[in-house]
Structure 1
Amino acid sequence: MVTDKSLDPQLSRRSFLCKSTQIALGLGVVSVPSISCAKALGKRSLSFVHTRTQQELTLTYAWGQAYNPRALAQISQFLRDYQTGQTHPIDPKLLDILWAIQGEMGRKGVYEVISGFRSPQTNRKLRRTSSGVAGHSLHMQGKAVDIRFPGIDTDQIHQCAVEMRTGGVGYYAKADFVHLDSGQYRTW
């Protein structure tokens, strides 16, 4: 279910607190990104549906500064290489990016996952059959995910992620998905 930010006083307060921190620090030298606000604000939850496996997952993966190891293991299993079944730990910063995007866009809902972790074998196969697949993809390190968010145009997700400047952001308009990763900030 997608909700309007104005209807959720908790999201509005969190957004206000984070933006207030950014504004206050912006007057000086440093600005705090939205993800750093996540750790100060309590519970962080996400919902997913995998477009390849049709599996669904909703869970709370962190509370304050503590990540839930059991939830992280569930996410790693959910975002496994759907072709080989191999799993790899998923970077919690990637989850915080997804969580922050929801907050910045003022929406809660279910992320549609196109691709999470990729084994080197799967990545090589995709490179042979698709353009735009990196040889040293962060998907192989559990640091990248390709997503869309029903009810929000993928261009809006792309723009939000670009403005956040918290990792790699790729926009694949024809395939209708956004690549997000927890590596250095860059766009394509």
Structure 2
Amino acid sequence: MIGRRRLLAGALGLAAPSVIAGGASAAAPRRLALLNLHTGERLAATYFEAGRYLPDALSAIDRVLRDHRTGAVHPIDPGLLDLVASLSETLGGQGAVQVISGYRSPASNAALHARSSGVATRSLHMQGMAMDIRVPGVDLGHVRKAALALGRGGVGYYPQSDFVHVDVGRVRQW
């Protein structure tokens, strides 16, 4: 049920009070530590502070999550960063979130799709809306369960390949 304050804030176009995982205020700083497993690049950044996303931090994250096959950089959806940050905070992993795949160019995605039916032709990776990840020190099944519990998008479970896919598309699982 929607509270009167949230309904009124939405009707007036104001930011409704909300929380992110861990009970933190929506305006609290958001941080993310990432390790791109293909390039070896690491980044620990505060990407949201004082109620706004920080363009320099977002650009740095975009660069780390670029298509490692082509070098193409694409904006990563801030909602995806929020999802991964919430997941990392909830799970209390040991170290940076390990990224197997962030952004994928259409050419890279087509090449991967040609080799595997498990790669969607219209993958959300091509829109900067998906990541394939591991959380160090956390069992992969637990990462999957926590991602499903957040209910913020798609969750794919790939235990043989040792990663969980998370995205900010419609809520679904496979």
- 5+ long unaligned stretches in structure 1: 1-24, 26-31
SS of the equivalent of 1:61 reads strand
- 1-side partners of 2:65 and 2:93: how far apart? 22
User: Within 2, Cα distance between the matches of 1:141 and 1:154?
Assistant: 25
**Is the Cα–Cα contact under 8 Å of residues 171 and 177 in structure 1 kept in the other structure?**
yes
The equivalent of 1:180 in structure 2 is 166
Please list, as runs of the form range in 1=range in 2, the aligned pairs for 1:34-183 lying within 5 A after superposition: 34=20, 40-107=26-93, 109-183=95-169
Superposition deviation, residue 164 in structure 1: 1.1
Q: Is the 8 A contact 2:94 2:137 kept in 1?
A: no
For the 8 Å contact 1:38–1:96, the answer to whether it is kept is: no
Taking structure 1 as reference, are residues 39 and 87 closer, same or farther at Cα in structure 2, changes over 3 Å only? farther
Aligned residues, how many?
A: 158
Paired letter, 1:121: A
Letter in 1 for 2:153: G
Q: Deviations over 1:97-139 (max 9, x none)?
A: 0111122224463111100000000000001112310000000
- Equivalent-residue separation in structure 1 for 2:25 and 2:105 (angstroms): 30
CA distance in 1, matches of 2:87, 2:103: 20
Q: Is the 8 A contact 1:102 1:108 kept in 2?
A: no
Mapped partners of 2:141, 2:19: distance in 1? 21
Please report how far the alpha carbon of residue 154 of structure 1 lies from its aligned counterpart in structure 2 after TM superposition.
1.1
Please provide the CA RMSD for this pair: 1.9
Tell me: CA distance 1:137–1:39, structure 2 relative to 1, closer, same or farther (3 Å): farther
The residue type paired with residue 131 of structure 2 is V
Q: Taking structure 2 as the reference length, what is the TM-score of the superposition?
A: 0.84
**TM superposition score normalised by structure 1:** 0.78
| Contact persistence 2:30–2:85 (CA under 8 A) | yes
**Separation in 1, partners of 2:99, 2:150:** 20
- Deviations for 1:79-110, whole angstroms, at most 9, x for unmatched residues? 00000000110000000001111222244631
